[in-house]
A and B are shown apart, each in its own frame.
Chain A
């Protein structure tokens, strides 16, 4: 809590690797190790997590699609959930506290929407569905482009803003009263982190499902 973004490793010139990147590397290693241990020792717990995530996707897209898109969306949900609560470790920065991490995730979602849409329907049909009434293309095209960009941007901003504000509130209270009093706020910020991971995954699901669904005209 209250760790600032810093440059750690210099790549070349003015390009640096920040501590959010290194902490996300550590985090990925932790996720992989925990996943391996869970497969070996606690398969029931792993099954429960997978069940929860598949249900979450199935609520929006239906059972069959949930299994198809689970690898991508489940990985997204787990990554964001762990990243949001990773700042609880003393001296470690949460990767999602830096704008670059949520922005990268949102851009991945942006490309995944089009990738899955084209994979499902083919390029021509996908474009035809996206710009649906073809005689209104002059109106639809700018609106669609603005919509795509702004929803990607707001996906990133929502995650970043929530995590940053949660950590700032905790940092301010710690600087006033360091003992016991910040604990409920730490709990609140962890709850917000979990909720934001859920929202991120659900919104990614909604975007992908609008990309792949058949229009009925």
Chain B
């Protein structure tokens, strides 16, 4: 790795981190959202009369949880398409 130029090193690191990051960043929200859905459905089955309230709350909660995945995606998009470090070494 010592004789590699910085541009290649940064590009390689970016690719590896992007692949890893999108997996880890979407895994957690997926699991947590699934738990939200399961709990909400259990509640709806037990008390069908509050189903519409539960649905609204569930969707809001899921949207808030999902924003962590969106943050991961944004950071990775910046890393891939607008990496400031690559611009410094190539531009």
Q: How many contacting A-B pairs (Cβ < 8 A)?
A: 34
Whether the pair A158, B60 counts as a contact (CB closer than 8 A) is: no
CB-CB under 8 A from B49, the residues of chain A are: none
A162-B70 contact given A199-B59, A203-B60, CB 8 Å threshold: yes
Q: Which residue of the partner chain B has the closest CB to A99?
A: B74
Q: Distance in Å from the Cβ of A45 to the closest Cβ of chain B?
A: 23
CB-CB under 8 A from B71, the residues of chain A are: 157, 161
CA distance A162 to B69 in the complex (A): 10
Residue A34 lies at the interface, judged by CB distance under 8 Å to chain B: no
Interface size class of chain B, counting residues whose CB lies under 8 Å from the partner chain:
10 to 19
Which residue of A157, A162, A199 contacts B60 across the interface (Cβ within 8 Å)?
A199
Looking at A60, A161, A195, the one whose CB has the most chain B CB atoms below 10 A away is A161
Q: Which residue of the partner chain B has the closest CB to A154?
A: B67
Whether the pair B70, A158 counts as a contact (CB closer than 8 A) is: yes
Q: Which residue of the partner chain B has the closest CB to A150?
A: B67
CB-CB under 8 A from B74, the residues of chain A are: 157, 161
> 8 Å CB contacts to B: which residues of A135-168?
154, 157-158, 161-162, 164-165
A59-B67 contact given A157-B74, A203-B60, A206-B60, CB 8 Å threshold: no
CA distance A154 to B67 in the complex (A): 7
Q: Distance in Å from the Cβ of A76 to the closest Cβ of chain B?
A: 15
> 8 Å CB contacts to B: which residues of A54-111?
59-60
Per-residue interface assignment for chain B, residues 50 to 77, with 1 indicating a CB less than 8 Å from any chain A CB and 0 otherwise: 0011001001100110110011011001
A203-B70 contact given A59-B53, A59-B56, A60-B56, CB 8 Å threshold: no
9 cross-chain pairs, A with B, having the tightest CB-CB distances, nearest first: A161-B70, A199-B63, A154-B67, A158-B67, A59-B56, A161-B73, A158-B70, A157-B70, A165-B73
A interface residues with partner B (beta carbon < 8 Å):
59-60, 154, 157-158, 161-162, 164-165, 195, 198-199, 202-203, 206
B interface residues with partner A (beta carbon < 8 Å):
52-53, 56, 59-60, 63-64, 66-67, 70-71, 73-74, 77
